[in-house]
Amino acid sequence: MSLISKSTVQEVNDRLDAISAVQDYLALEKKGGRWWGRCPFHSGGQEKTPSFKVDPDLKTYHCFGCGKGGSIISFVMEMDKLTFPEAIKHLARKLGIEIIYEDGGTGQEEFDNSEKEELFELYRRTTLTFQHFLHEKPEGQAAKKYLSDRGISEEMIEKFKLGFSPPDRDFLHKFLSSKSYSNDFLEKSGLFSSRYKTMPMFSGRLMFPISDRQARVVAFGGRAMPGVLQNDGSEPPKYINSPETSIYKKGQTLYAIDLALPEIRQTKTVYLSEGYMDVIALHQAGIVNAVAPLGTAFTGEQASLLRRWAEKAVLIFDNDEAGKKAAYKAIITCRKSGLFCAVTGMQEALKAETTEETDKFKDPADILQKFGAEILKKVLKNTINDIEYLISCGKSQYEAIGSGKNRAAEFLFPYLDALDSEIERDDCIALIADAFRVDRNAVQGDYTKRKTGTHSSKYENPAQQDNLAGKPIRMNSELFLLTVVAANMFLYPELRAALEIKEIDDPAAKELFVAMEECFIHDESGIDFLLPRINDEQLRNFMSGRGISPEFTGVNAGDPRRLMEDGINEIRKKRLRKRLAEINFEMRDNERADGQYIDELLAEKKVIDSQMRKLEGR
């Protein structure tokens, strides 16, 4: 087997831009001469304080949270699950470097033994074949006319590599077999029926190639042509999609991610729509940071993928009941992954732009077809925050029935669960109370009872107010801080001197705080003493596994004291931000109060601003 030469590996390493290479996978920010990001390994890219550092000079990475580190080439291998030769070839292609093999070989043996490489080449060839049928063959003219009638430009047809699969069900297998592809390989390619080995998945359909982040085609979506019926006279499924293969996992990609990624990185915003045609319409209107899920509902895995580069998602879903349900689920999914969220009000904006009946134009593709790209771009600027959208949905769904206000508020509780910030959750509870004209404490009480299954009291032990109730343990900044200290108990006296338990919001972190306090009181140290003092079984299991792993103990933990100090600062900042929000609320709520009271609030606000600047190092 011919191996890639050392000179090629060295040239790749020499020319590799570490920052650019890593930014293909996650957003980086320069602070103090170093580049930082949210670690994609131990937190799914959702940690609040970036712990993932990239050194552009040494071309290495290291995460102070989980301890992972190595060269940028090893980072690419880890992220894309590539072997070393595959990573070198991938990077060489991006850098325009010719791959030279030892002993003057061609590397053909290595290529032939790489199933993924062979699949990439197969899908590239098949894409070109489908494009040829769309542009050059009589069979593709109906699909070409359909695209023209929908207002899709030639530029978009080329940009998205649209094609047409031939109606002849024998063509594709015969064609690919003539290119020396074996029957066994074609069977597992995802292009043919699992039941009828030579029958293509797609025939007589408008074809939408699906690419990965490196712009390699990995799958297809196929749309049935209007008016074309199956042999039994029934209508075929409108869309069918490729099955998963070794190069294609639905949850790990999104339609047009390769085309949208540069703009997503720059704007930190992504537009999320429902289908292929909608994404193409959005790109034609200049919204080039638009993507779509792939034949399924938007998943948490896809949201976590987008969170690597984006901070905000703008949802563009149909205005029918199915679209509203999809939007509701997508909002919850986005918020759980740390993405801020907004929803477009296309129909309302469209009504202001035209005198026509607009209800029938329910998605971007329809609006592009009827009104053109400029109107589509204009109406997409009309967005509302996700909480306002959900309050509006709750009102329309439940206010007409007897217990409407109660049901409408409950409709919003999963959204509150998804929020990671207590301050934001508190503000949203106030918005819900105002929207339904009910007492804020009543909303808070119902939410607390639903969440914990108990009545809460301000006199209860803070560690007992939030019952874990078998909920899965989710790592967050508070739990990370407490786990670091639990794994390094010599730090606990410093923690308890700096923080009170009432300043901790996460219930798992609270219970861990109580367990450490009991160990401290009884002069006990070590995980063997800590675990029996943890009541919740899931938290106990978490600590017996993750809590004693190298990411929190030993050399892989970095500097535990520094991690603790950073975590304490984050909690202090959160507490100060909460008090600032309270002061702002009191000032709005007491506009007619005497001047002395307002002056006292302003003085306190000034002190808090000073403390915040100090904590943020400004």
Taking only the tens place, the pLDDT of each residue in 75-120 is 988 887 778 888 888 899 888 888 888 765 555 444 444 788 899 9
Identity of residue 336: K
What length does the chain have? 618
Q: What is the dihedral of CA 446, 476, 305, 76, to 10 degrees?
A: -170
Tell me the pLDDT tens digit for each residue of 10-35. 899 899 999 989 988 888 888 877 78
| β-strand pairing of 269-273 with 312-316 | parallel
Statement: the pTM of the whole predicted model exceeds 0.75 = no
Give residue 472's pLDDT: 66
Query: CA nearest 295: which of 356, 354, 219?
Result: 219
Distance CA 161, CA 268 (A): 26
Give residue 473's pLDDT: 75
Give residue 468's pLDDT: 55
Q: Residues of the chain whose pLDDT is less than 50? A: 108-113, 402, 454-467, 554-556
Distance CA 496, CA 504 (A): 12
What is the three-class DSSP state of 243? coil
The DSSP code sequence of 477-518 is: HHHHHHHHHHHTGGGHHHHHHH--GGG---HHHHHHHHHHHH
